[in-house]
Amino acid sequence: GQSLEQPSEVTAVEGAIVQINCTYQTSGFYGLSWYQQHDGGAPTFLSYNALDGLEETGRFSSFLSRSDSYGYLLLQELQMKDSASYFCAVRKQKSYGGSQGNLIFGKGTKLSVKP
C-alpha cells in the first residue's frame, strides 16, 4: 500500500516558527510537494523537493530526506493569514515529457495561528 503521515492539527502564535513533518511510504517516488489550502479555496503550490536537502522560498522552507522517506515544511514569522490546511504530496510518476505526474496527497495538517 501507500501512505503519507502528517499531524492533523498544529497551533502556534504569530511570529513563531512551525515545522510540519511528513513521512511517506509509496510505490514510486519522484518528489515531495507541499500545498496550502484555505477554507473554501483551492490548493496552492508552496514547494517541491526532488532531491535531498533544504529549499527556501521567503518565509517557507521545505526539506527532503529520501533515505528516511521524510520531509518537512518550515514556516517562519507566522502570520494570521497562514492559518490554513497544509498538504504534503508525493509525486508518484512522471511522463517522458516530464510535465505529468500524479500526486498522492497526505491527509493534511490544519494550522491555526493565534494572535
Binding site for another protein (CB under 8 A): 30-31, 33, 35, 41-45, 48, 50-51, 55, 87, 91, 94-95, 97-108
Q: How far is the CB of 63 from another protein (least distance, A)?
A: 13
Instruction: Please report how many Cα atoms fall inside a 13 Å half-sphere around the Cα of residue 33, on the Cβ side.
Output: 16
Residue closer to another protein, measured from CB, 47 or 75:
47
Q: How far is the CB of 95 from another protein (least distance, A)?
A: 5
- C-alpha dist (Å) from residue 73 to 20, 63, 66, 67: 5, 7, 15, 17
Residue closer to another protein, measured from CB, 42 or 115:
42
Rounded-to-integer distance, Cα 42 and Cα 45, Å: 10
